[in-house]
Amino acid sequence: MNKNTYRLIIAMLGLLFAHGAMAQFIYKPATELTLGGKMMPTQNPFHRVDTVDHPDLPARMKQLFTHGTGMYIAFKTNSTAISAKWCVTAARPLPYLTPIANKGFDIYVKKQGKWQFAGVAAPTGICSTKTLVENMEEGEKEFIMYLPVYDEIRSLEIGVKPGAIIEPIPEPFKKRVLIYGSSIVQGAGTSRPGMAYPAQLSRQTGLNFINFGLSGMAKMEKEVADIVASVDADAYILDCVPNSAPSEIKERTKYLLQTIREKHPKAPIIVMQSVIRESSYVNQRVAKYVRDQNTMIDRETMSLTNKGMKDVYFITSEKFIGDDHEGSIDGTHPNDLGYYRMATFLNGELTKILKKYNIN
């Protein structure tokens, strides 16, 4: 065999190998599948709000609205493996999040009517290609794949095995329940996107809990209250006390609740106290601050109901993350255990309220 023939064989083998590697998965744009968990239509499908329509919002808040928090891709496929190809931003990773929660995905498969965790994809750079789940049994199955809780998706494609089908499915969760809140709503401290408590509530109840988490920025500002009220939902949950100073709660609670009530006269509004910070058990300054927050939101909510505002409910926070002091990652944000306890407790409380309005 001469050198030229040898080189030609090597080149052909290289091409065959490259073709085989590329053919491991056939990719489809995620925008051709079902994109759930959105608050409202947006020009960029992976953004939560079109911030160009709200020029007065702080820059950090505008950035948070570009995050895919709470959104998911819903689809069915008979592929035995699923991959994702995506790009995010170069923003610095957050220290209290895993890379999976920060800039990656987790995926759930529907088994016997329930959503079961199936796999994850961790980023390898600004753009990544990763397999989420493989070696599955044959047959068509339904999936939901949650978007990162703390980054913007610049592009996203879902990959299946050659010859397999991948198609959108109807929105898997019914009704619309908006949760406006802090980093605890957004999912800070979770190990993966689907562990944020609004996402857990959706899987537990079958209701569509929409994540309006604004990390560090949920302070009941007038501009944000107007956005909250503009979202068409069947119920509104306000978990914004953790970010709001007692003085802000006193000044802004009335406008927030009245604005929602004016636009949605019959929708239940559920107000939540701040989760008890684990650090407050040893840090007396934190303990007093949280007490003052929770006392003020109780007082302001009761003032409105005493004046005749109907369909307003109040949930206290003593049982949110348990009493064994193991439910937090940093003394402030819940860990996965804390989020599970929070979702499970709220499931019971919210279900009793929402059933009164045929939201079930």
* Amino acid identity, position 55: P
Look at residue 96 in the predicted model and tell me its pLDDT: 84
SS3 33: coil
On whether the CB atoms of residues 146 and 105 are closer than 8 A, the answer is yes
| Domains defined along the chain, listed by start | 26-168 (2.60.120.260), 174-355 (3.40.50.1110)
Number of residues written out for the chain: 360
- Cα–Cα distances in Å, from 200 out to 173, 195, 283, 345? 12, 6, 30, 11
* Amino acid identity, position 354: L
Residue 324: partners with Cβ closer than 8 Å, 6 or more residues away? none
- Which residue reads 């209701």 in tokens? 207
- Cα–Cα distances in Å, from 3 out to 7, 9, 16, 17, 105? 6, 10, 20, 21, 48
DSSP states of 285-334: HHHHHHHHHHHHHHHHHHHHHHTT--SEEEE--TTSS-SSS-SBSSSSSB
On whether the CB atoms of residues 30 and 174 are closer than 8 A, the answer is no
**What predicted TM-score, i.e. pTM, was given to this entire model?**
0.92
Residue 281: partners with Cβ closer than 8 Å, 6 or more residues away? 287, 325
For 61-87, give one letter per residue: b (16+ CB within 10 A) or e.
bbbbbbbbbbbbbbbbbbbbbbbbbbb
For residues 209 and 207, give the distance between their C-alpha atoms in angstroms, rounded to a whole number: 6
Look at residue 20 in the predicted model and tell me its pLDDT: 43
Instruction: Give every strand in the sheet of 155-160, ordered side by side.
Output: 26-29, 155-160, 82-87, 127-133
Look at residue 16 in the predicted model and tell me its pLDDT: 43
Spatial CA neighbour of 149 closest among 31, 46, 232, 231: 46
For residues 210 and 39, give the distance between their C-alpha atoms in angstroms, rounded to a whole number: 6
Look at residue 23 in the predicted model and tell me its pLDDT: 61
- Which residue reads 């009530």 in tokens? 261
The pair of three-digit structure tokens given for residue 300, joined into one six-digit string: 């302001």
Look at residue 94 in the predicted model and tell me its pLDDT: 85
10-residue mean pLDDT series, the chain (360 residues): 52 44 83 97 96 90 96 98 96 89 97 97 97 97 98 98 98 98 96 98 98 96 96 98 97 98 98 93 93 97 97 95 92 95 97 97
For residues 176 and 190, give the distance between their C-alpha atoms in angstroms, rounded to a whole number: 23
Look at residue 13 in the predicted model and tell me its pLDDT: 45
For residues 82 and 71, give the distance between their C-alpha atoms in angstroms, rounded to a whole number: 18
